[in-house]
Amino acid sequence: MNSSRIKIVILDGCALNPGDLGDWDALRAIGQVELYPVTPIAEIPARAADADVVITNKVALSRETLRQLPRLKYIGVPATGVNVVDLTAARELGITVANVPKYSTESVAQLTIAHILNLSFHLSKHIDSVRNGDWSRNENFCYRLTPMIELSGKTLGIVGFGEIGRATALVAQSLGMKIIVFTPSRSQSAGDLRSPCARELFGASRQEILFVDFDTLLSESDFVSLHCPLTDSNRQMLSRERIARMKPTAFVVNTARGLLIDEAALADALNENRIAGAGLDVLSQEPPLESNPLLTAKNCYISPHSAWGTIEARLRLMEQTAANLRLFLDGKPINVVN
């Protein structure tokens, strides 16, 4: 493919760069760029009919759509998750798909810890209360709307122990938290096996990490934080039955994928005080329907899928998206997922 003549269509540029990162110079240096802030599914065939390269963050590319793009040879996904692309169809049609792993590790871990810190004090609820004048009207010098807890000595259960899970564990340990981990890639039985890599990862001075089964993690954790990709086998892994295994004082944090949780079950547990709270950055449908029960659930704090969106992380994402494409054109593809 002659790189000087290729056509690059960006289907949803506003997701990665709403304008605060400058122009798409790195991609414009590679070929002719046609940029769309957002693209409805029905308009993909018209907009990308003569594209050699498509860049998509959240605009889905199904088998039916891919069949209507005869020139397409490469799909760049400026994200780690690639469930927006039918990878099997792309492979069958000779289309290479590449993603960008690890670009947002620090940022996602940071927001995970931010949710944990918020939940420990229900901080945003108290800030809103002060803004509404409750402190000014109070007879005492201080007040508490909810129980407040100290994180030191509490147990953080991490589900999935890739880059982000490990980064989160490192910060949580600095706050004095104990770490237990469930990951399907390990075959340990519950409770009694210590990680052989814990000291290598976190240093000899750190407390060792226990790998446990999922049910043990749920029953022993003060905070359960999800850090695994969404697959057919773990959809709604935090189900009604499994939420019932958690302590009534425990919290759920999810910065991974919304469909890992049965949202109706979580909302019921929050409203019925069967768990203490939730901090979520992702939902099953985004933007959410106004009928999503978590939007009004008790002690549920939701951020708008923003963990990945720091300026630093998105700059890395733009740079690596362009680097992936350059290497593909040079015959040295990296980060290929199909």
Q: Tell me which DSSP letter residue 85 carries.
A: B
Judged on CB neighbours under 10 Å (0-12, 13-18, 19+), 307 is buried
Known active-site residue 92: no
> What is the signed CA dihedral for 102, 103, 104, 109, rounded to 10 degrees?
40
Beta bridge partners of 178: 155
Total Cβ atoms within 10 A of residue 321: 25
Sign of CA dihedral 195, 196, 199, 204: positive
Among candidate residues 257, 263, 314, 316, the one labeled active-site is 257
Of 47, 305, 314, 316, the catalytic one is 305
Around 191, how many Cα atoms within 13 Å sit in the side-chain half-sphere?
Answer: 6
List the Cα angle 164/166/170 in 5-degree steps. 115
State the catalytic residue, choosing from 92, 208, 241, 286. Answer: 286
Is residue 47 part of the annotated active site? The answer reads: no
Helix (H, G, I), strand (E, B) or coil at 155: strand
Q: Is 257 a catalytic residue?
A: yes
Give Cβ neighbours of residue 128 (< 8 Å, ≥ 6 apart): none
| Closest to 227 in 3D by CA, of 191, 271, 257 | 257
Residues marked active site are found at 257, 286, 305
